[in-house]
Structure 1
């Protein structure tokens, strides 16, 4: 069972108690689990640690330094000394011993019964318990909503980062950052611990497996038990979503195969006319209905959206990713049985291209076509290197990359970006300011926006 604690400073801040800090003012962050009253010369056998020990000095110890040393070794967080009726003031020997051994010492005035201190501590603990239960419930709802959004894995990671004020990344063992690579490998292998936590530099890092990947959570302070419960919810959702992603990747291939198998009966040309063709990836139900009505047998639902094999010239109004045009001479081999004919290869490549372009389409709210004009003149390897160089400060931060993509796509509109991301406009402003700091760029400059838009286009 986990027992909640309260920082000593919260108890000291209660004006109604009238507590005075005599020494240890720089240690008021110490946790207090309970208040314990004892007038024994040696109460250590009855202590468990993190107490506020309350005493009026009824049996004041003869060896005060040894008395304080025993309390320190027992894990007592602080001493509260009640003045009167035994002592009109806190004994100077106790003050000196506490100062020497860095033990916080509080003076409890005659008007404050020890019971009042215990009751105040209980009220603070109850407030924390209620606050953490509310935080857990709110976090569960936020994570569940995130799992239903566009790009659900990234949305869950972003929501987790906001809720816990941390950095949350889903890391593949082969590409894990150097500072946690060994821990990621052990957690992902299944032969090591099921989860791990460690201090890495100035960050406290926790690692948990998610299918074949590892969730890495970084922040300045360790996670509390309730925050670990929030991570557990995120792990459950990410595990389901990762399986869905793998299934969706397979569905892209199945779309190509099933479309081509159907074409053996009806013929793609009979449905779409002569090539060239394109693949369209989208998520809008309205676009799905339009395309399904026109090209029914060649439209397939995939995960939260759809993929469609369409003519090179077609019409949609919403945000969709559109592949490059292609011919499909190998749709059906002469015999229909040759394993070397690789049926659907062009469709599969086009489906992957359209799915990647869908992210840009959702950012702009209009169809996204493959790079042309300037992009067509750039070597793909050089383009990727440029993208990674321009966005180096954001790599591994999917929530910032997605926010920047949508914000640029909406021409810097805070309200439209917030609506598309499902967050408050102030959250968008905060993220964009963070992007500017990480990249060292002024996003008010046109050339910065243009360079970053190209980098986002070429990143994948």
Structure 2
């Protein structure tokens, strides 16, 4: 069983406890599992590691350096010394021994019972448990949503990378990067461990088999137990998707080969009749299935979504980008237009058509420069741009934006606050919202 921990600094930060760090300020990142009260001269037989050892010095040790050395060897994270009634101040010999051996030492004031420290630690542990359960639930929702897109494997990997702030790759052991090839081969062989982790350079790397491939997750910091559970959700989805894709591979390859709309489109009039035509860009598997059933080879799986060539007057629904009407020779330009409109459609949940108002009156070059100038601090941060787009499209509604994004409403609030700080703008004003919405519209 994995026992949750709290960084020592979080306990020290509790103002109500009044704890004072006497030494070891550089080690406040240490994890604490529980608080243990002991007045024994040698409590080490009763310790298991990562405790905050609380003592008032009732049986103060005669050999203080040896006492501290025993606690260090037992894996104690810190000592909390309660002043009064035994000692009016923390003994200098204890401060010196802790400082010499790198043991954090906290002074517990007379007004703070040891029970209050234990209760505060319990409350912090409960907060972390709730936060991680919420993170796991949110991650399950967004990963499942990603699995319904047209390029489900790529979407799940991208979503996992965003959720865990990591790099996630599904690799063939035979062609895996050199630095992870050996472990990837062992994990996929079925003869060794079915999962593994290792330090590769500066990264903590985990390896998990997925059918004949291996999921490789790289991050600077190790994954927490809750984050490993998120990886397990991704593994289950990827396993199902890989099996489904194997059976569909031939059909998808034929469709993609015959229907890439950026290349020459032949026989359009036989399927759609005389022009003009529109290009539709989307991500939803359901929207793709509807159009594929109706238009067959004129619907193409491409770049994590799909493109479809449809008759100009066709009715579409759902979050799709729809181009202006074009002749057969204008399909290339229409693909670019529909793809750019898709981001707006995903934010609003409705079809997005070319602007027929103010946006259409602005010079495209000037509009693009305006957009990049307005959004400069956010460029390279797709999660913030995406959240801002959805939040504005949902008229600043936290719950509606959270539903569209598939995250908790507090995550939306946190991201929008970060956007406000980066842009140094109050997003509560109509002027700021209007300017940023136009900038997002013109960004692509």
Q: Would you say 1:431 and 2:435 are equivalent positions? A: no
**Any idea what the Cα deviations from partners look like across 1:272-305, whole Å, max 9, x if unmatched?**
9xxxxxxxx996355335437xxxxx99999x99
Partner of 1:442: none
Distance in 2 between the 1:139 and 1:71 partners?
A: 39
Distance in 2 between the 1:7 and 1:163 partners?
A: 22
Secondary structure of the 1:410 match is helix
**Any idea what the Cα deviations from partners look like across 1:409-460, whole Å, max 9, x if unmatched?**
418x96457669xxxx9988513999xxxxxxxxxxxxxxxxxx9xxxxxxx
**Any idea what the Cα deviations from partners look like across 1:228-286, whole Å, max 9, x if unmatched?**
11100000000011111111113358999xxxxxxxxxxxxxx99xxxxxxxx996355
Partner of 2:123: 123
**Over alpha carbons, which structure has the higher Rg?**
1
Partner of 1:438: none
Q: Would you say 1:287 and 2:238 are equivalent positions? A: no
Superposition deviation, residue 2 in structure 1: 0.9
Secondary structure of the 1:130 match is helix
8 A Cα contact 1:414 1:429, kept in partner: no
8 A Cα contact 2:323 2:338, kept in partner: no
8 A Cα contact 1:160 1:231, kept in partner: yes
Distance in 2 between the 1:161 and 1:305 partners?
A: 18
The answer for unaligned runs of 5 or more in structure 1 is: 257-270, 273-280, 293-297, 309-313, 320-361, 375-404, 435-452, 454-460
Partner of 2:236: 236
8 A Cα contact 2:82 2:108, kept in partner: yes
Distance in 2 between the 1:315 and 1:300 partners?
A: 9
8 A Cα contact 2:323 2:337, kept in partner: no
Secondary structure of the 2:49 match is coil
8 A Cα contact 1:410 1:416, kept in partner: no
**Any idea what the Cα deviations from partners look like across 1:334-362, whole Å, max 9, x if unmatched?**
xxxxxxxxxxxxxxxxxxxxxxxxxxxx9
Q: How does 1:177-326 map to 2 (within 5 A)?
A: 177-252=177-252, 284-291=288-295, 316=311
Q: How does 1:399-418 map to 2 (within 5 A)?
A: 409-410=339-340, 415=344
8 A Cα contact 1:407 1:417, kept in partner: no
Secondary structure of the 1:209 match is strand
Partner of 1:167: 167
Q: 1:137 to 1:116 in 2, by over 3 A?
A: same
Secondary structure of the 1:179 match is coil
Q: 1:130 to 1:153 in 2, by over 3 A?
A: same
TM-score where L is the length of structure 1: 0.62
Secondary structure of the 1:284 match is helix
Q: 1:172 to 1:366 in 2, by over 3 A?
A: farther
8 A Cα contact 2:151 2:305, kept in partner: no
Superposition deviation, residue 144 in structure 1: 0.7
Secondary structure of the 2:96 match is helix
Distance in 1 between the 2:233 and 2:313 partners?
A: 33
The answer for unaligned runs of 5 or more in structure 2 is: 257-269, 272-280, 315-319, 350-374, 386-443
Distance in 2 between the 1:433 and 1:141 partners?
A: 19
Superposition deviation, residue 183 in structure 1: 1.2
Distance in 1 between the 2:223 and 2:254 partners?
A: 42
Partner of 2:397: none
Distance in 2 between the 1:159 and 1:255 partners?
A: 26
8 A Cα contact 2:150 2:305, kept in partner: no
Secondary structure of the 2:180 match is helix
Q: 1:67 to 1:26 in 2, by over 3 A?
A: same
Distance in 2 between the 1:102 and 1:216 partners?
A: 36
Superposition deviation, residue 315 in structure 1: 5.6
Q: Would you say 1:11 and 2:19 are equivalent positions? A: no
Superposition deviation, residue 191 in structure 1: 1.7
Superposition deviation, residue 158 in structure 1: 1.2
Partner of 1:87: 87
Superposition deviation, residue 407 in structure 1: 10
Superposition deviation, residue 185 in structure 1: 1.2
Distance in 2 between the 1:97 and 1:232 partners?
A: 45
Partner of 1:145: 145
8 A Cα contact 1:136 1:227, kept in partner: yes
Distance in 2 between the 1:104 and 1:19 partners?
A: 12
Secondary structure of the 2:168 match is strand
Distance in 2 between the 1:235 and 1:157 partners?
A: 10
Superposition deviation, residue 150 in structure 1: 2.3
Secondary structure of the 1:136 match is helix
Q: How does 1:31-42 map to 2 (within 5 A)?
A: 31-42=31-42
Partner of 1:70: 70
Secondary structure of the 1:192 match is coil
8 A Cα contact 2:81 2:106, kept in partner: yes
8 A Cα contact 2:173 2:188, kept in partner: yes
Superposition deviation, residue 159 in structure 1: 1.1
**Any idea what the Cα deviations from partners look like across 1:311-349, whole Å, max 9, x if unmatched?**
xxx965699xxxxxxxxxxxxxxxxxxxxxxxxxxxxxx
8 A Cα contact 1:288 1:306, kept in partner: no
